Every structure is written in structure tokens, then in C-alpha cells.
């Protein structure tokens, strides 16, 4: 997955001389370099605040990134990175724990390019002087990982805006001076907020002064997590990543909106299968803590896949695995078709709204020439034989079963089924 492009461009001018202003003309005429990417699309030069709840996997994630950068190759199994030296402040670990962690992630062969220490700055030492001292010993370092900010700063001033801003600003000054990336691992607060940035423990001075913010979220017992990234140099994004406990490794799956959609569908399907009975849309939405509109779209996909059927208006039932296989083969069981009963029963078209109600609107759309969204008889026949005509189409689209051929009168194409389902509900 290509999340960015690494370009080696020498810095030309990034700040103005002290006491001197510059005009807009001078600014526009100055050639500015592209940022240096440690991990393209994820970690640029500057300071990144990497935030997550305790034991969510921040340290394994950070160690995996450090190992990938030191070896060169692919970070998170997907992103090509250039081989660089790493300075790693593991301030919450012992050497024994570090060895066990690194062996799981990297194996028994070292690179010689990750420089570890488990001690932070003394109380009398500033963050700037401490970092400068270590970077002086390892001038080739381009990635610094500080795990954690609280241990590094001794929690001095983190709770106040001025204090936390000053702490990050000190670290940032070193990153800017040496053109490197510094990842600062930090804990998330317990309370949930409306914005992912609200998860950062302490003052907003941390999020205000850091160049990049990354928030890792993972439910206990789950291996799929989301990684929200935003910042001055990166495009705001929410990615899905997967943790593998056996190797303590993280894998980039892709945009969370695409990856987690299948997880959300699975949650709805698991609920319907557990209940093993008809459920109303509202009850399903309440059970999975999602909006009705969201659940309606999830159900549309499950119906098209043959996993769920709509047995009434706003009423759904899971197709059990053996029934689902039959549906995929085009077998028409009583739950799949129930032809005349579906059309004329109390839950059919002549029920609450009747044929003069909502269904007439569909016929009017067809008569008015809006036929692009409708499927022909032969096309519908083929789709039904493949088990792809959803149950709600059989009930609410005017579909008949004469002579074993399917015909449509005002039947929406499945491409617009999403809007159709919202219309019916």
C-alpha cells in the first residue's frame, strides 16, 4: 500500500533569522523541501504523539516500526521504508522484557542499528540536552522512540497546557534541528470524547504542539484495531491494523471504513444468528449500538450475500449456514420465496400499505420513464437462479412466479437497493 513518497531533498530554508521578518513575496520565492518520511504516510520528520490506552499494544507497535526501519523493507507488512538507525528509549521495560519482545518481532538476528536505553533524563537535565547527548553518540539516527512521555518528562507539567506544550516543544526543537522523526508514546485518558484527540491524556498542549497525532484503539480481546492519524504533514486518515499475538506483529489492512465494514456486518449477522428469530430493525440497531440508517445499509449487504432475509417490513431474520448455502445454489426453500404467501399474506403488499400505498410509487416511477434503475425479466431470472434476489425484493418489489419465470413490475435494480431499503423503512 503506497501511503506516501520518500524524497531526499536537502533543506533549504525552514525558519527566518532571529529578529527578521520576511514578505509574502520572499516566502513564495523560497524553495521549500518536502518533509522527510521515516514511514511514508505515517511518520514524517518532527514529533508524533502516539496515543493509546494501557496494554492496547503501543509498545509492540513501536518496536515493530523500529525493527522495520532498522532492517529496511516493509513497515506494518505493507509500507516500504528506507533503512535507518533508530534510538529507542524503553523507559517502562527491563532489558529482559526488551529481549523477549524483540526476539518475537525480529528473531535472534540483530541489525546493530537500534540503540536502546532504559533510562531517561535526570531531574537536573533538560530534554534537549539529554537528546542532544545521545544523538551526539549516534549521529546517523533518523528515528527516535520515547516510550513513554510520562517517564521521559517525569510527568512534570504534563497536566497543564503551558507545561505540556513546553515539554513537547523542547523535543520538537531537537527533531527540527536534526531533521528526524521522534515518536512520543503516551497514554490515553479513560473517558471517551467526541473527538479522537480528546483521548490524549493530559492537556491539549500535547496535541497542540506535536506535529502529528496517532491514536491507536483496540477493544480487549480483539485483534483488529484502528489507527487515527492527523497532523501538519500527513493527510488525516483512519486505518485498520491487525495484531498477531503469536509474533507480536502489526499488519496494515487498509482504510478502516472499508475494512471494518465487514466486521460490522459480521456483528449484525452474529446477533441475528444467536437470536435465531425475526428481529425488527430498531431492535437490531439498539443491540449493536448503531444508528438505524447504518444498520439498514449493513443488512442490505447481508441480504445480497444471502445471509439474511427480510420477512416483513423492517423485520429481518438470519439465514442459517445450511440455508445460506442453499440460497447461494439458487434453491428456493420456503424461507427464500414463499411466492403467493409473500405477496398476498398479511405481511405482503396488501398489508399495511396495500398496493395503492408505497408500492404504487414504484410503478409510477417506471411509467414515468425512469427505467434505468430497473432490471429486465431475463436479468432478474438469472440473478434469482444464482440466489441473488434479496427477500425484500420478493416481498416489496412486485415480483411474480408465473410459469417458473421471474418478472418485475417496478422492481429496483440491486445497484440502488440501498436507497430502496431506506424508502421501504
Fold observed for domain 34-256: Rossmann fold (3.40.50)
With a cut of 90, say whether residue 215 has pLDDT above it.
Answer: yes
Buried b (16+ CB within 10 A) or exposed e, 298-325: bbbbbbbbbbbbbbbbbbbbbbeeebbe
Instruction: State which of 33-37, 156-160, 260-264, 402-406 shows the largest mean pLDDT.
Output: 33-37
Question: Which one has a higher pLDDT value, 360 or 128?
Answer: 128
What whole-number distance in Å separates Cα of residue 40 and Cα of residue 97? 29
What was the pLDDT predicted at 187? Answer: 84
From-to residues of CATH 3.40.50.300 in the chain: 34-256
**Percent above pLDDT 70 for the chain:** 66
CA atoms within 13 A on the CB side of 200: 28
Q: Which of 70-79, 91-100, 287-296, 324-333 has the lowest mean pLDDT?
A: 324-333
Task: Calculate mean pLDDT across residues 346-362.
Answer: 40
pLDDT tens readout for residues 223-241: 999 999 999 889 899 999 9
pLDDT exceeds 50 at position 414: no
The rounded mean pLDDT for the chain is 76
25 pLDDT above the threshold of 90: yes
Quick check: 263 pLDDT over 90?
A: no
The stretch 165-172 carries a mean pLDDT of 90
Residues 6+ apart with CB under 8 A from 93: 59, 101, 118, 147
Higher pLDDT, 67 or 259: 67
The tally of CA atoms less than 13 A away on the side-chain side of residue 138 is 19
User: What's the mean pLDDT in 276-281?
Assistant: 95
Look at residue 220 and give its three-state secondary structure. Answer: coil
DSSP-assigned letter for residue 289? T
Amino acid at each position: 500500500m503506497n501511503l506516501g513518497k520518500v524524497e531526499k531533498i536537502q533543506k533549504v530554508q525552514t525558519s527566518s533569522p532571529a529578529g527578521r521578518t520576511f514578505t509574502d513575496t520572499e516566502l513564495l520565492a523560497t524553495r521549500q523541501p518536502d518533509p522527510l518520511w521515516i514511514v511514508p504516510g505515517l511518520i514524517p520528520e518532527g514529533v508524533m504523539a502516539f496515543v493509546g490506552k494501557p496494554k492496547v499494544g503501543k509498545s509492540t507497535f513501536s518496536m515493530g516500526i523500529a525493527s522495520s526501519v532498522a532492517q529496511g523493507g516493509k513497515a506494518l507488512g505493507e509500507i516500504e521504508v528506507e533503512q535507518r538507525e533508530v534510538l529507542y528509549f524503553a523507559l517502562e521495560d527491563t532489558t529482559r522484557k526488551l529481549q523477549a519482545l524483540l526476539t518475537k518481532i525480529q528473531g535472534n538476528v540483530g541489525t546493530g542499528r537500534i540503540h536502546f536505553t532504559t533510562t531517561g533524563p535526570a531531574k537536573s537535565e533538560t530534554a534537549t540536552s539529554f537528546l542532544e547527548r545521545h544523538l551526539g553518540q549516534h549521529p546517523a539516527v533518523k528515528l527516535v522512540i520515547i516510550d513513554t512521555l510520562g517517564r521521559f518528562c517525569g510527568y512534570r507539567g504534563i497536566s497543564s497546557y503551558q507545561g505540556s506544550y513546553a515539554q513537547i516543544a523542547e523535543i520538537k526543537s531537537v527533531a527540527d534541528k536534526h531533521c528526524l522523526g521522534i515518536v512520543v508514546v503516551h497514554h490515553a485518558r479513560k473517558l471517551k470524547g467526541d473527538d479522537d484527540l480528546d483521548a490524549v491524556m493530559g492537556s491539549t498542549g500535547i496535541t497542540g504542539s506535536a506535529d502529528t497525532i496517532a491514536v491507536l484503539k483496540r477493544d480487549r480481546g480483539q485483534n483488529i484495531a484502528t489507527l487515527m492519524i492527523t497532523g501538519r504533514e500527513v493527510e488525516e486518515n483512519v486505518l485498520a491494523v491487525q495484531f498477531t499475538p503469536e509474533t507480536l506483529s502489526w499488519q496494515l489492512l487498509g482504510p478502516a471504513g472499508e475494512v471494518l465494514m465487514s466486521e460490522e456486518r459480521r456483528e449484525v449477522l452474529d446477533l441475528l444468528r444467536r437470536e435465531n428469530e425475526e428481529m425488527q430493525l430498531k431492535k437490531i440497531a439498539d443491540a449493536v449500538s448503531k444508528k438505524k440508517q447504518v444498520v439498514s445499509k449493513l443488512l442490505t449487504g447481508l441480504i445480497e450475500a444471502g445471509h439474511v432475509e427480510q420477512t416483513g417490513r423492517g423485520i429481518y431474520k438470519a439465514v442459517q449456514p445450511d440455508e445460506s448455502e442453499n440460497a447461494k445454489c439458487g434453491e428456493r426453500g420456503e424461507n427464500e420465496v414463499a411466492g403467493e404467501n409473500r405477496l398476498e399474506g398479511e405481511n405482503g403488499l396488501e398489508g399495511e400499505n396495500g398496493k395503492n400505498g408505497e408500492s404504487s410509487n414504484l410503478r409510477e416511477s417506471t411509467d414515468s420513464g425512469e427505467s434505468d434503475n430497473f432490471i429486465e425479466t431475463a436479468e432478474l431470472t438469472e440473478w434469482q437462479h444464482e440466489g441473488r434476489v434479496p427477500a425484500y425484493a420478493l416481498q416489496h418489489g412486485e415480483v411474480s412466479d408465473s410459469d417458473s419465470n421471474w418478472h418485475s413490475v417496478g422492481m429496483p435494480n440491486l445497484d440502488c437497493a440501498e436507497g430502496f431499503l431506506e424508502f421501504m423503512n
